[in-house]
Amino acid sequence: MTLLSVRAPRAEAVTLCLFEGDTETRVPMAREGEDWTADAPAPGTRYGLRAHGTWAPEHGLWFDPAKLLVDPRAVELDRPFAYSPALSAYGVDTAALVPRAVMPGALPDMPRAPPRFRRGGLIYEVNVRGLTMLHAQIPEARRGTVAALAHPAVLAHLEKLHVSAVELMPITAWIDERHLPPLGLRNAWGYNPVVPMALDPRLCPGGVAELRETVAALHARGIGVILDLVFNHTGESDVLGPVLSLRGLDNAAYAHAPDGTLINDTGCGNTLDFANPAVRALVLDSLRHFVRHCGVDGFRFDLATIMARGPGFAADAPIFAEIAADPWLADRVLIAEPWDIGPGGYQLGRFPANWLEWNDRYRDDVRRFWRGDAAIGVLAQRIAGSSAIFGMDCRSVNFLAAHDGFTLADTLAYRERHNHANGEDNRDGHGENFSWNNGVEGPTADPAVLARRTALARAMLGTLFVSAGTIQLTAGDEFGRSQRGNNNAYAQDNAVTWIDWERRDRALEDHVAALAAWRAARDLSQFPEDGTWTALDGGALDAARWEGPATPGFVWQAGKEAARPTGLRIDRAAPEAGPLEDVLEDGGPGSGSGEVPA
């Protein structure tokens, strides 16, 4: 008989709760060391857990048998999480409020295969719901789901952009932050998970099979799948937060200060403790699950510095070696968001050599250059792969915009954030975005302002597509998606974050497709060592020109030893011409003209 096991080392008793409709049958579990076991329910059975013990939050004990708890290793839930104050109230039964885990049957292993991704390619960051909710060609019942990504219209768009891999913003089950329901808002991004393996029924109603089939459809088109996973905290939040899973079973999974208070290096109320082997084991099991049973190609780790804390950051943290030694994980694409808000939290360039890293320095410096307040030397460093940060092994993930912050279009249309719809008096979100409005704050009919914004968007996109390293484009930035100046739209599950396919800028989309085709024909995983840099007038670039704020740009041309003698031209004074000049003699994009094809 297969056993169901759950870790709860300080519990006095743990009960397995089996549900048939609303009827609950309780089965005592047996202690085995720090774990509790019982015969596993039959596949398809809905179940939960109750843990008995002391309720003393001030001492890190949240045992309350009135709280139905979700198995931390659940892979399927029968309903989404929904916030209620009752989830935090001692002695209030929550069986009617908490999802039940669904016991899985045997999950087939996927064939082992190398990741469908190459360094230097294009990662397309996708909010599954936002991408598909307004897409007229997708059947209405399928919109907003993982399955919608396998629709022919979506696949055709990804192929048009030569996407190497889609990076799916969190699709595991999350709960709304407690301040959102009273405001009539709900979480639109998913960065507030509860259990790490269970897919959210709103996004993936078909469970593991739906994700596996969608991955297969993308793989058939040569497109990899990267999951954006949140292992830095859970939606159980701070001491006033809900009791849903780990908090009620094994609160020691969360990092605590010497006085017992929760460490909050994430800004979300709690921090998972990666110095705890049990936490790392849960994370490793989660990663293996998505590779073995769904076939995903890799992972992007939100606030990844947390994974190397114990409590301080360590470049040789155990989790790195454990992933590298795992036969299912060692060859996967691994991408760090290399910062958190804790002490010493900014760790760009310090992750292992086989990891890629989000490079916010690239985003900020490219914006600053085209805004007019960064020297060409700074931009050249970013285009060439940020070797001062990463060395000659280019691990940079270059991006102009991401899910958090302004969209690319809004970077050129808003000087200030406009987050009033979030209900936080416009205090949330980044204060400094290195954005500029080109003369008018927000929408305008002024043709001169619109032309300037369009030219700059093309210039910035051209800069991205000629840059060494891996590049990332957030869905919709290729055709001018706006969030109306909201640079923290996590709570806007509505038209603010839903992509408007009908009114997209098709000319800009075609322009990006041409850039993508140009890049796909070349290996830009590293910047060519053989080449020359000159001023726009053909003269030498001395230190004064490299560092002078008035120098408008430069020309780089590959040397004679290069396999494909290409070049690029950056001219801040004339962005309407486009920053990319392909000097191929075979008549490639922009050959001889300095212009990017429209």
Distance CA 244, CA 351 (A): 32
* pTM metric for this prediction: 0.95
Residue 576: its pLDDT value, please? 64
Q: Give the model's pLDDT for residue 584.
A: 29
Nearest to 333 by CA among 217, 164, 128: 164
To the nearest whole percent, how much of the chain has pLDDT over 70? Answer: 95
The mean of the pLDDT values for the chain is 93
pLDDT value at 480 more than 60: yes
User: Annotated catalytic sites, by residue?
Assistant: 302, 337
Whether the per-residue pLDDT at 374 is higher than 90: the answer is yes
Q: What count of other Cβ atoms lies within 10 Å of the Cβ of residue 373?
A: 11
Neighbours of 320 (CB within 10 A): 18
Give the β-pairing of 122-126 and 298-301.
Answer: unpaired
Residue whose pair of structure tokens reads 């962005």 in the numeric block: 575
Lowest mean pLDDT of 24-28, 376-380, 535-539, name the range.
Answer: 535-539
CA 472 to CA 123: how far, in whole Å?
5
pLDDT of residue 572 exceeding 70: yes
Question: Is the pLDDT score of 473 beyond 90?
Answer: yes
The answer on pLDDT for 157 being more than 50 is yes
**How many CB atoms sit inside 10 A of residue 475's CB?**
25
Characterize the bridge pairing of strands 224-229 and 165-168. Answer: parallel
Q: What is the 8-class DSSP label of residue 561? A: T
Domain boundaries, the chain: 3-102
Angle at 494 between CA 492 and CA 500, to 5 degrees: 120
Nearest alpha-carbon partner for 73 in 8, 126, 13? 8
pLDDT score, position 357? 98
- Under the banding of pLDDT at 50, 70 and 90, the label for residue 577 is low
Residue 376 CB partners (closer than 8 Å, separation 6+): 369, 541, 545, 546, 551, 552, 553, 554, 570, 572
Q: What is the mean pLDDT of residues 214-240?
A: 98
Give the Cα-Cα-Cα angle 472, 478, 481 (nearest 5 degrees). Answer: 110
Instruction: Provide the terminal-to-terminal Cα distance of the chain, rounded to the nearest Å.
Output: 65
pLDDT at 598 over 60: no
- pLDDT 10s digits, 522-550: 899 998 888 889 999 889 999 999 999 88
Q: How many CB atoms lie within 10 A of CB 313?
A: 22
Question: Quick one: pLDDT at residue 392?
Answer: 86
Q: Closest Cα partner for 329 from 302, 366, 299, 308?
A: 299
Residue 37: strand, helix, or coil? strand
Q: How far apart are the C-alpha atoms of 382 and 387, rounded to whole Å?
A: 8
Q: Per-residue pLDDT averaged across 366-392, rounded?
A: 95
pLDDT surpasses 80 at 85: yes
Instruction: Quickly list DSSP for 373-439.
Output: -S-HHHHHHHHTT-HHHHTTS--EEEES--SSS--HHHHTT-SS---GGGTSTT-SS-S------TT
The CATH architecture one would assign to domain 3-102 is Sandwich (2.60)
Task: Read off the pLDDT of each residue in 229-244 and give the average, rounded to a whole number.
Answer: 98
Residue 568: which pLDDT band, with cuts at 50, 70 and 90?
A: confident
pLDDT of residue 574: 82
30-39, 239-248, 501-510, 585-594: lowest mean pLDDT where? 585-594
Q: What angle do CA 437, 406, 177 make, to 5 degrees?
A: 140
Pairing state between β 122-126 and 553-558: unpaired
Spatial separation of the C-alpha atoms in residues 536 and 50, rounded to whole Å: 70
Rounded to an integer, the average pLDDT of 362-372 is: 97
Band (pLDDT 50/70/90 cuts) for residue 561 is low
Arithmetic mean of pLDDT, 117-140: 97
Closest CA to 303 of 259, 262, 351: 351
Separation CA 265–CA 232 (nearest Å): 9
- The pLDDT of residue 562: 56
Whether the predicted pLDDT of 32 surpasses 80: yes
pLDDT, tens digit, 9 for 90 and up, residues 184-202: 999 999 999 999 999 999 9
Structure tokens at 150: 């396998």
| Residue 510 clears pLDDT 60, i.e. is over it | yes
**193: β partners:** 174
Q: What average pLDDT does the segment 10-32 reach? A: 97
Q: Can you give the C-alpha Rg of the chain in angstroms? A: 25
> What CA–CA distance (Å, rounded) separates 197 from 172?
6
Single-letter amino acid, residue 180? L
pLDDT computed for residue 27 by the predictor: 98
User: Residue 556 has what pLDDT?
Assistant: 87
Structure confidence by residue, pLDDT tens digits, 413-431: 999 999 999 999 999 999 9
φ, ψ for residue 68 (rounded to 5)?
A: -75, 130
pLDDT band at 588 (very low <50, low <70, confident <90, very high): very low
How much is the pLDDT for 560?
66
